[in-house]
Structure 1
Amino acid sequence: MLRFASTAVALGLLAGPALAADLPQPQEPIAYDEPVVISQYDWNGAYIGANLGWGFMGFDGDAGTTGALDDNDNGVNVGLYGGYNFMVTPQILLGVEGDIAYNDIDQSAGGFGIESDWNANIRARAGYAVFNNTLLYGTGGVAFADLTASGNGDSDDTTAVGYTVGAGIEQAFTDRISGRVEYLYQDFGSQDFTLGGTRYKTDVDNNIVRAGVAVSF
């Protein structure tokens, strides 16, 4: 009888771990990574900035006009710009912008000269935000430029008015600072100058490539 009891106890001790292994075991909690939330950059609001680039101004003289009034010139373009953006959807932007820049255009040829010291634009902008902090945009509006022609011992100046169109890409670096690269085409049509009693006509356009940095507020 004692042997039987001892055998039963031994079998119970051996079966205990096996039965325990069959029972549901407590599980370690599974750790999940927190979801990464990528916020959309807010382009709304006012901004002001400065830009630096190069302008390529062309003069296409009419009726046999020669010299600087039928030539091309290029020079530095440096100035200020500012505007206001409205995000009409999380990706689509509409805005208005103005800029004014110093031109280093001063061309002399064949006894004639023509120069432009400044140009300006008032433009609308439409853009599409990609990659959360990058903006692709097109722009268009009214362009202005001062032009002074000289020749025949005389000079004549005018403020030319035309249109401008262009496009660019803008990148937000912080929540307030952004940078851009843009191209603008300005067309001022036919401009008249009277020099020494003779009237001259020349078609004027300008191509500008520039980069800028702005602060929003």
Structure 2
Amino acid sequence: MIAGAAGDVALAADMPSYEPAPAVSVPSFSWSGPYVGLQAGYDWFDAKNRANGFSPATKPDGFTVGAYLGYNHQLDNSPLVIGIEADANYSDADAHRGTAAFGGGRISNSFDFTGAVRGRVGYAFNRFLVYGAGGVAFADPQIKAGGSSDDTIAVGWTIGGGVEAALSDNVTARVEYRYSDFGTDSFSVAGSRVKSDVNDNRVLLGLGYKFSTGW
């Protein structure tokens, strides 16, 4: 019996040992990389005009469409995402709410184009990203009164935030709110010098394409 037991031990020692295959970790989604996208939404401008003792404020609003591009970097082993983004948009905010009484006539404010360059900071929940953004904003306000018009390029600041979701490894969708203050600019219309202080609230929906980090 002792010899048989010894033989069994020797046979077991000769048998190859098997170890379970190591678990393969599936990498989580990364927000790092360049991206481009299209967006559309609605603008609510507030223009406070002052001239000749009058304060004809207007509130032009309208639809806006545009495009954006940027770059995100997600820190290693961290949900923190930082990035930079630029966008350009067309707006039709000039119609029914863009005029006010001015002297014996009307004054109107309108906006065709807006844009911004912003830094972004976000917190990723795998394929969901909650972010805030802020930076420099641009617009082309125009004032009309008494059969004359004047326009300029306004430069101000913007701040906002949103939520973005990765629908696939490359396609993302987002909703965003943004507030912009374009400061005060001077215009010459109807023989008067008009000072106009403009800000804007907007809500945007965006659909983007994220390139791979090796792109």
Bin the TM-score by the shorter chain.
0.7 to 0.9
Tell me which of 73, 80, 92 is aligned to 2:67: 80
RMSD of aligned residue pairs (Cα, Å): 1.9
Q: Distance in 1 between matches of 2:58 and 2:145?
A: 14
1:57-96 alignment, distance < 5 Å: 57-62=45-50, 64-67=53-56, 70-89=57-76, 90-96=78-84
Report whether the alignment pairs 1:173 with 2:167: yes
- AA partner of residue 66 (structure 2): G
2:107 aligns with: 112
Tell me which of 189, 208, 215 is aligned to 1:214: 208
Aligned partners of 1:65 and 1:201 also within 8 Å: no
Report whether the alignment pairs 1:50 with 2:45: no
**Helix, strand or coil for the counterpart of 1:65?**
coil
Between the two proteins, what is the percent identity of the paired residues?
39
Once the two structures are TM-superposed, the CA of residue 153 in structure 1 deviates from its matched residue by 2.5
Structure 1 or 2, whichever has the larger Rg, is 1
Q: Distance in 2 between matches of 1:129 and 1:155?
A: 47
Aligned structure 1 segments of 4 or more residues deviating by more than 6 angstroms = none
- AA partner of residue 208 (structure 1): R
Q: Distance in 1 between matches of 2:191 and 2:124?
A: 55
1:142 aligns with: 136
State the TM-score, normalizing by the size of structure 1.
Answer: 0.79
**Helix, strand or coil for the counterpart of 1:41?**
coil
2:155 aligns with: 161
Q: Distance in 2 between matches of 1:62 and 1:114?
A: 12
**Helix, strand or coil for the counterpart of 2:60?**
strand
Aligned partners of 1:96 and 1:125 also within 8 Å: yes
State the TM-score, normalizing by the size of structure 2.
Answer: 0.79
1:151 aligns with: 145
Once the two structures are TM-superposed, the CA of residue 37 in structure 1 deviates from its matched residue by 5.6
**Count of paired positions:** 182
Determine which structure has the larger helix proportion and give its number.
Answer: 1
